[in-house]
Amino acid sequence: MELLHSGKVRDVYADGDDLILVASDRISIYDVALPTPIPDKGRLLTALSLWWFEQLADLVPNHVISATDVPAEFAGRAIRCQRLDMVPVECVARGYLTGGGLREYEQTGAVSGVRLPRGLAEASILPEPIFTPSSKAPAGEHDEPITYDDVVAKVGEATAERLRQITLDIYRRGAELAADRGILIADTKIELGWAPDGTLVLADELLTSDSSRFWPAESYQPGRVQFSYDKQYVRDWATGSGWDKQPPAPDVPAEVVEATRARYVDVYEKLTGNRWE
């Protein structure tokens, strides 16, 4: 195998015509990889992605060839994947207003060019899910919100509309399945690529604690910050630490690591119904 790319949290190897996507225990916030790993994170996110790929296979094809035909040293944290020509856009769907979307709304009354009603607050549910794409920034730089028109300029009208529809379809189906299990999906990011036959295919991870915001439905209350089953806990710690969000990142305290891992395990078990061993 040949190492093609070592990213903030994933490593990609070439194995003949296939790719081996390996999820590490590294964690990234604000587009910066932190020096402290979260134990089992790679295995948890791989298992959760595979579960979601199976649940949503009828909506859009995915890049998975095999979760078992991988090198033994990567067992449990790697997927054998189809090679794709990746779309140069991060596809984001939001059903609730929080994070960067809330900050943009407070400044402009819109998110990625989508006008929203007045008077929304932290964690407000949106009238309907919205497509709020972002750029794919080079290594070391931050992704930035872009508008639908920007997506059209990058990939053309037909592909832009397909990206928007797929993203919203995945969000709606995922949110419905999660709600049945007591979980609200505030937002999620997906990645898509073109297969050699021109089909748009889901890639990377899907509806995981790194690509989505998960909230417990039982304690949801708009107007305040929600308990999160995702890496928002690490973001909150980092914000309070005084770090300027530029490399190098500080070490993560042991109690933050433990609490983050517990959140990843908890939401995996709630969503899939499987016990994490």
* Gyration radius of the chain over CA positions: 18
Beta strands in 7-100 (DSSP E): 10-15, 18-23, 28-29, 32-33, 64-66, 78-81, 85-86, 89-96
Task: Tell me, yes or no, whether 44 lies in a domain.
Answer: no
Contacts of 258 (CB under 8 A, 6+ apart): none
Q: What is the pLDDT of residue 239?
A: 87
Q: What is the pLDDT of residue 139?
A: 57
Task: Tell me, yes or no, whether 109 lies in a domain.
Answer: yes
Task: Tell me, yes or no, whether 208 lies in a domain.
Answer: yes
Number of domains the chain is built from: 1
Beta-bridge partners for 5: 12
Predicted TM-score (pTM) of this structure: 0.93
Q: What is the pLDDT of residue 232?
A: 82
The helix-helix angle for 232-241 and 254-272 (nearest 10°) equals: 160
Q: Which CATH number does the domain housing residue 118 bear?
A: 3.30.470.20
Task: Tell me, yes or no, whether 202 lies in a domain.
Answer: yes
Q: Which of 14, 141, 150 is nearest to 92 (CA)?
A: 150
Contact by Cβ (8 Å): 211, 92: no
Task: Tell me, yes or no, whether 276 lies in a domain.
Answer: no
Task: Tell me, yes or no, whether 111 lies in a domain.
Answer: yes
Q: Which of 211, 171, 183 is nearest to 273 (CA)?
A: 183
Please give the helix or strand (H or E) that residue 125 lies within, else none.
strand 125-131
Distance CA 141, CA 136 (A): 9
Task: Tell me, yes or no, whether 245 lies in a domain.
Answer: no
Owning domain of residue 198: 85-219
- Phi, psi of 189, rounded to the nearest 5 degrees: -120, 135
Q: What is the pLDDT of residue 143?
A: 74
Pairing of strands 110-111, 200-203: unpaired
Task: Tell me, yes or no, whether 195 lies in a domain.
Answer: yes
Q: In order along the chain (277 residues), what is the average pLDDT of each group of 10 residues? A: 91 96 93 92 97 97 97 96 96 96 97 97 98 80 86 97 98 98 98 96 95 96 94 88 91 95 97 95
* 8-state DSSP, 145: B
Distance CA 201, CA 90 (A): 14
Q: What is the pLDDT of residue 140?
A: 54
Q: What is the pLDDT of residue 39?
A: 96
